[in-house]
Amino acid sequence: MSSWKSLLLRIGDKCPEYSSSSEFKDHIETCYGALRRELEHSSNDILPFLLQCAEQLPHKIPLYGTVVGLLNLEDEDFVKTIVENTQTSFQEALDSGNCDRIRILMRFLTVLMCSKVLQPASLVVVFETLLSSAATTVDEEKGNPSWQACADFYVTCILSCLPWGGAELMEQVPEEIERVMVGIEAYLSIRRHTSDSGLSFFEDDEPGGDLVEKDFLEDLWERIQVLSSNGWKVESVPRPHLSFEAQLVAGKSHEFGPISCPEQPDPPSTISAVAYGKQKHEAELKYPQRTRRLNIFPASKTEDLQPIDRFVVEEYLLDVLLFLNGCRKECASFMVGLPVPFRYEYLMAETIFSQLLLLPQPPFRPIYYTLVIMDLCKALPGAFPAVVAGAVRALFDKIADLDMECRTRLILWFSHHLSNFQFIWPWEEWAYVLDLPNWAPQRVFVQEVLEREVRLSYWDKIKQSIENAPALEELLPPKGGPNFKYSVEDGGERTEQHAISAEISNKVKGRQTAHEIISLIEENIYPAHGLEITLSVVVQTLLDIGSKSFTHLITVLERYGQVIAKICPDQDKQVMLIAEVSSYWKNNAQMTSIAIDRMMGYRLISNLAIVRWVFSPENIGQFHISDRPWEILRNAVSKTYNRITDLRKEISSLKKGVISAEEAASKAKAALEAAESKLTLVEGEPVLGENPARLKSLKTQAEKAKEEEVSIHDSLQAKEALLARALDENEVLFLSLYKNFSNVLVERLPDASRAGTLQALKSIHGDSMAVDLEESSTMEVDDENGRPKKSQPNGSKATNIYNVGEKEQWCLSTLGYVKAFSRQYASESNSTRPSFWLLVGISLLTP
């Protein structure tokens, strides 16, 4: 890498490139000097690389802005090109709805204004353009209020620029910026307050609580108001341009070209809640709220932070997570080295957990956040592990109120996290869960974490990890292996069914074909023993042969899947098949899930059969005490949904291919026609057409291009047919899913007069929790192990009683999963009208 590139990338970091100096002024002077020397020869390389650095390392934007300001003194034309390129990129981002690019480029423009590169009036024009578009969007007569998400995003971008340049704007163009602030206040008065009730982390967020009263934009506006009253002083935003102010004022301030906001879709032609809701959902998908705050720790942990500093540090952390998602170690390194003068470990933990648990889906796969947390624990061994431990304890204390989807993610993260640290955890603190009923969420949480740990290690290792709380062995999954009904190893009684199983096993091991096995079943086994015994013996035997490893299972299914398909051709028999798989692997939830998933992949089991089995009586009773049936259901729905997603991607790619093929065919045809119409001289006589060899080549090319066009068209039609079929299957799946949810809930939910909300449902049986959650939420986690100073390590029966009844907990858990499935697949259920309306009916039962 060129030295100037390295200096640009590492500016602001403690690194060898800057001789380990930590002074921003030294870094800027060094970087500027290197760029100035290279400007004459490498300006075409410097410009895009500089803009790329500013966009993808946005927490360093004040440093890049100051460097550009100094370059403006050296080469005004070069910097003018930077401004023009930024304007082009900004307009493209607006047109495409690239939220992250819009937000970051606006911050860059603000910093360029601070460095005297951009005229303040030009920045105000950008603000007013976005504000005008936002106001028009939410206007009932002129706009389309269902697209308020876009309008809110534009106003959020304006407000989020002010910590970086509010002081300069108030100093240089006070009347103009005051006009913008008045316009924002007017916008806030006409927009609709947004509610995140369906996306909140906890079910018990009270409507009167501070977090629910203000939505994200209203909260940001309040923080900006406090910042304004404090004279626009922000500790978390470096202001390196002030060190060069005497030089920068001599530079020429450039104008920013005009921009325009894209038009929003027209309002629905038919005014209805459904049409409005669909457009609102579409807008929220395109312009999502970036984060939702998860307040894990008491305010005392961040009370030294000004309100705006919390927002700025969150922006830094989210930007690093966004742009360095493929470089986990670099990500952790930048997260611990933000340009702020105060400690922020607690805020960093809250921000990461808020992204990990973000609903309906986290921005990146959960494994990414697992790796980042792990690397942060290693980068800050004296501070961050204790903070993470404190976060786990705080979330565990409120696990009964945590959203079911968040609960599942927390279980998966925590078990994986512990596997990277020798499974060390003070389990004795949670040993009291054994005194709780088996449906208590805290007990279920510990049980599921231990089960997931066994998957990541082995049973004896996990038993050893809980030696400080040996009684918790009761919550470990069974140690035994497969539950083979027809085993002869234990010297048990041998029946005719055992003999049949042994015969099938010998034939499989003798490499007999699936057709030969089917013949044996049809001629000898089925006529003599009937369907139930035949299915049980064949499935159990094949599973036992494939039980040694995942590879063995795949081999058996590939070679003898036809046997299973022959025995189980319809949904009723597939439900029996799933029951046999569950029985064989009753001691191993992971292998049950894997086997059923693979069978669905080979189309031996339908998704509808899985839904029916999950809602069978033996599984319904586990809904509130085990994740086992839910994991299988999640996999089935996810597999169906992913197939639709993959087909849509393939169709999108094929459509682009069709356009290219049509263009290629058109060009080849035009070239052939031009050659055929061209006059050439042959033996002194004019002849129509080029020489025969060239004409033959052009004809071949034209024919191939046409064949390619037809081939891609055929592929597109085939994929579109598959998509139509997949969508029909998806609609039937969701209808079946919600019909089953409706049936089991109607049977068990209490009368609406007794419980109209989830909180009321909790109180039917008694007090929700005797645990003093308020006290535990104000825990102190300052000691080296992150243990709470105010709570007893081992808990006690007297203070840890879960008084929600089993029936009520079953309803709470099942309703929680209804919400989780509905939220995750909202786009598909919206297109599935019958199931969507049924979902609406069920949703009325929840707050």
- Residue 141 is which amino acid? E
Please, which pLDDT band fits residue 781 given cuts at 50, 70 and 90? very low
pLDDT score of 799 more than 50: no
Q: In this structure, what token pair is assigned to residue 288? A: 């999502």
Q: Which residues contact 269 (CB under 8 A, 6 or more apart)?
A: 275
pLDDT score of 192 more than 70: yes
- Residue 679 confidence (pLDDT): 54
Mean pLDDT, residues 591-607 = 96
Q: In this structure, what token pair is assigned to residue 340? A: 């702020």
Q: Which residue has the tokens 């050659």?
A: 675
Beta bridge partners of 680: 687
C-alpha dist (Å) from residue 543 to 529, 536, 547, 598, 713: 20, 11, 6, 12, 43
- Digit-coded pLDDT (tens) for 201-260: 988 654 444 444 689 999 999 999 999 999 999 999 999 999 999 999 999 999 999 999
- Digit-coded pLDDT (tens) for 309-327: 999 999 999 999 999 998 8
Q: Which residues contact 486 (CB under 8 A, 6 or more apart)?
A: 497, 498, 501, 502, 537, 540, 541, 544
- Residue 389 confidence (pLDDT): 97
Please, which pLDDT band fits residue 772 given cuts at 50, 70 and 90? very low
Q: Which residue has the tokens 């105060």?
A: 342
- Digit-coded pLDDT (tens) for 126-168: 999 999 999 999 998 889 999 999 999 999 999 999 999 999 9
pLDDT score of 826 more than 90: no
Please, which pLDDT band fits residue 773 given cuts at 50, 70 and 90? very low
- Residue 711 confidence (pLDDT): 93
Q: In this structure, what token pair is assigned to residue 808? A: 């009520």
- Residue 206 confidence (pLDDT): 46
Query: In this structure, are residues 267 and 343 in contact, taking their beta carbons and an 8 Å threshold?
Result: no
Q: What single string gives the DSSP state of each residue in 714-738? A: HHHHHHHHHHHHHHHHHHHHHHHHH
Q: What is the dihedral of CA 377, 378, 383, 385, to 10 degrees?
A: 40
- Residue 655 confidence (pLDDT): 93
- Residue 681 confidence (pLDDT): 54
Q: In this structure, what token pair is assigned to residue 296? A: 């894990």
Q: Which residues contact 665 (CB under 8 A, 6 or more apart)?
A: 702, 705, 706, 708, 709
Q: Which residues contact 90 (CB under 8 A, 6 or more apart)?
A: 101, 102, 105, 106, 109, 259
The mean predicted confidence, pLDDT, of the chain is 88
- Angle, CA of 718, 722 and 723, to the nearest 5°: 115
- Residue 754 confidence (pLDDT): 65
Query: In this structure, are residues 368 and 309 in contact, taking their beta carbons and an 8 Å threshold?
Result: no
- Residue 17 confidence (pLDDT): 79
pLDDT score of 599 more than 70: yes
b/e map 771-783, b = 16+ CB within 10 Å: bebeebebbbbee
- Digit-coded pLDDT (tens) for 278-296: 889 899 999 999 889 999 9
- Residue 204 confidence (pLDDT): 67
- Digit-coded pLDDT (tens) for 465-515: 999 999 999 999 998 789 999 987 766 668 899 999 999 999 999 999 999
Beta bridge partners of 254: 118
Measure the CA–CA gap between 274 and 281, rounded to whole angstroms. 10
- Residue 208 confidence (pLDDT): 43
Q: Which residues contact 367 (CB under 8 A, 6 or more apart)?
A: 416
Which range among 51-60, 185-194, 593-602, 793-802 shows the weakest confidence by mean pLDDT? 793-802
Q: In this structure, what token pair is assigned to residue 831? A: 């297109």
Share of residues in the chain with pLDDT > 90 (%): 74
* HEC string for 807-833: HHHHHHHHHHHHHHHHHHCHHHHHHCH
- In the three-class reduction of DSSP (H, G, I as helix; E, B as strand; rest coil), residue 681 is classed as strand
- Residue 758 confidence (pLDDT): 67
Share of residues in the chain with pLDDT > 70 (%): 88
Alpha carbon distance, N-terminus to C-terminus of the chain: 57
679-682 vs 685-688, strand pairing mode: antiparallel
Measure the CA–CA gap between 16 and 24, rounded to whole angstroms. 15
Give the closest residue to 125 by CA, choosing from 153, 147, 106: 106
Measure the CA–CA gap between 490 and 498, rounded to whole angstroms. 13
Q: Which residues contact 170 (CB under 8 A, 6 or more apart)?
A: 177, 232
Measure the CA–CA gap between 799 and 787, rounded to whole angstroms. 18
Beta bridge partners of 802: 769
pLDDT score of 29 more than 80: yes
pLDDT score of 784 more than 50: no
- Digit-coded pLDDT (tens) for 94-109: 999 999 999 999 999 9
- Digit-coded pLDDT (tens) for 742-757: 999 999 888 765 666 6
Measure the CA–CA gap between 66 and 168, rounded to whole angstroms. 14
- Residue 195 confidence (pLDDT): 81
Mean pLDDT, residues 352-379 = 95
- Digit-coded pLDDT (tens) for 221-232: 999 999 999 999
Q: Which residues contact 195 (CB under 8 A, 6 or more apart)?
A: 212, 215
CA atoms within 13 A on the CB side of 503: 14
Measure the CA–CA gap between 169 and 166, rounded to whole angstroms. 5
Measure the CA–CA gap between 108 and 112, rounded to whole angstroms. 6
Measure the CA–CA gap between 645 and 742, rounded to whole angstroms. 27
Q: Is the peptide bond before 341 cis (omega within 30 degrees of 0)?
A: no
Measure the CA–CA gap between 369 and 592, rounded to whole angstroms. 27
Mean pLDDT, residues 693-706 = 86
- Residue 690 confidence (pLDDT): 61
- Residue 693 confidence (pLDDT): 77
Q: Which residue has the tokens 């060094």?
A: 30
Q: In this structure, what token pair is assigned to residue 270? A: 């038919």
Measure the CA–CA gap between 619 and 810, rounded to whole angstroms. 12
- Residue 654 is which amino acid? L
- Residue 269 confidence (pLDDT): 76
Query: In this structure, are residues 422 and 378 in contact, taking their beta carbons and an 8 Å threshold?
Result: no
- Residue 767 confidence (pLDDT): 43
- Digit-coded pLDDT (tens) for 51-74: 999 999 999 999 999 999 999 999
What is the distance, to the nearest Å, from the Cα of residue 670 to the centroid of all Cα atoms in its chain? Answer: 49
Measure the CA–CA gap between 154 and 184, rounded to whole angstroms. 11
Measure the CA–CA gap between 345 and 381, rounded to whole angstroms. 12
- Digit-coded pLDDT (tens) for 536-570: 999 999 999 999 999 999 999 999 999 999 999 99
